[in-house]
Amino acid sequence: AQKVTQAQTEISVVEKEDVTLDCVYETRDTTYYLFWYKQPPSGELVFLIRRNSFDEQNEISGRYSWNFQKSTSSFNFTITASQVVDSAVYFCALSEAAQAGTALIFGKGTTLSVSS
Amino acid sequence: NAGVTQTPKFQVLKTGQSMTLQCAQDMNHEYMSWYRQDPGMGLRLIHYSVGAGITDQGEVPNGYNVSRSTTEDFPLRLLSAAPSQTSVYFCASRRTGNQPQHFGDGTRLSIL
């Protein structure tokens, strides 16, 4: 069965600190997709990144970077030099290719609070 | 391009009432889903559809019905509302099975 675990419920940092959000997943499928979404205080869900199981290259987008390690079933998200606008709930999600008809399975989310 | 549109944005119901949450997308996406979001629980899948006429249950389907008569619309029905169904409901769509999901803005539902 597929499962996504975000062990960090809440994280508080001060502006300009780096912060890493952890995501550990479980799947029996060899082909799968991992996602990160951001939910700011306004409530909408914003797509950040998709990574397939065959692409273990790390990705950097501005202050955001993602570290995908199949050996530890982890897909961690780092924000460098955090800003107050980064305050949000962040969700990691998993989709299995064999179950492509189903929707994404989400972790419970990590609430990030960045203070000035 | 409106994306995924959910109506209403807010609703208060009394226990036992019925209602339908509307969801429409204009991106010609085959896959649509309904989630509920509760504090500390993340997003849990209620029902999903892989195309017109095809629906299936997710993790928490009890108390909810869905139908998919057109590609564009995927309404969620509460037949007899219960306080446990107080939640924020999100509708989502995507083009293929493993593409990112596009979410609506959510419906905040309170059952008294």
- Please name the residue that has the structure tokens 């924020």: B88
Per CB-CB distance under 8 Å, the chain B contacts of A35 are 100-101
pLDDT in tens, B85-110: 999 999 999 987 678 889 999 999 99
Best interface-test mutation with A: which of B9, B60, B98 has the largest number of A CBs within 10 A? B98
Question: Of B105 and A61, which is predicted with more confidence?
Answer: B105
Q: Suggest the residue from A27, A48, A108, A110 to mutate for an interface test with chain B (most B CBs closer than 10 A).
A: A108
Measure in Å the smallest separation between the Cα of B37 and chain A Cα atoms: 9
Q: State the Cα–Cα distance between residues B46 and B66, nearest whole angstrom.
A: 9
Residue B77 forms beta bridges with which residues?
Answer: B20, B65
* Confidence band for A69, pLDDT divided at 50, 70 and 90: very high
Q: Which residues of A touch B106 (CB under 8 A)?
A: 43-44
Q: Do B105 and A97 touch (CB under 8 A)?
A: no
Mean pLDDT over the full length of chain B: 93
Phi-psi region of A108 (alpha: psi -120 to 50; beta: other; left: phi over 0): alpha
Instruction: Tell which residue, A88, A91, A90, has the closest CA to residue A104.
Output: A91
Closest-approach residue (CA) in chain A for B30: A101
Average pLDDT rounded to a whole number, residues B33-43:
92
**B49-63 confidence digits (pLDDT tens):** 989 999 999 889 999
As to burial, measured by CB atoms within 10 angstroms (0-12 exposed, 13-18 middle, 19+ buried), residue A78 is middle
How many angstroms separate the CA atoms of B51 and A87, rounded? 36
Q: B45 at the A interface (CB within 8 A)?
A: yes
Mean pLDDT of B6-22: 96
Q: What pLDDT is stored for residue A45 in this prediction?
A: 94
Answer yes or no: is pLDDT of B20 > 80.
yes
Minimum CA–CA partner of A8 in chain B: B40
| B25, B101, B102, B109: best to mutate for the A interface, most A CBs within 10 A | B101
Q: How many CB pairs under 8 A join A and B?
A: 60
